[in-house]
Amino acid sequence: MSDPLLQLNAKIFAGQLHTKFKVQDGGGPAVVVELAEVLEPPSPPHAELFVLHFRGPRAPRLQQRIHHFEHEVLGAFDLFLTAIGADDQGSDYEVIFHRLRNKAS
């Protein structure tokens, strides 16, 4: 079985900026978050590093753990999500991809 995350990279996520993702939070209803930013910090040639920032509602606040994401274009996959801030309008979350590059790419 192929890992859907291997097909996703910073460029693909950047093409989905400001679109909505449904995030499953346990057994409750999905929480809708928006992809707010895609960052590509410097990384060594053998490693791929990019960061996704999401903006969601103030409540419910998603816990730091692996969540199931669904997107109308990208499909379904699991990501480790961390809350990084909040204000009166909502909560901010971060997902970090840090993996070895495929030698074929």
Among 66, 59, 15, 56, residue whose Cα is nearest residue 32: 56
> Domain-by-domain residue ranges, the chain?
1-34
Model pTM score: 0.90
Question: How do residues 52-97 score in pLDDT, each as one tens digit?
Answer: 999 999 999 999 999 999 999 999 999 999 999 999 999 999 999 9
Query: In one letter, which amino acid is 40?
Result: E
What is the torsional sign of CA 51, 52, 55, 57? negative
- The neighbouring-strand residues paired with 20 are 34
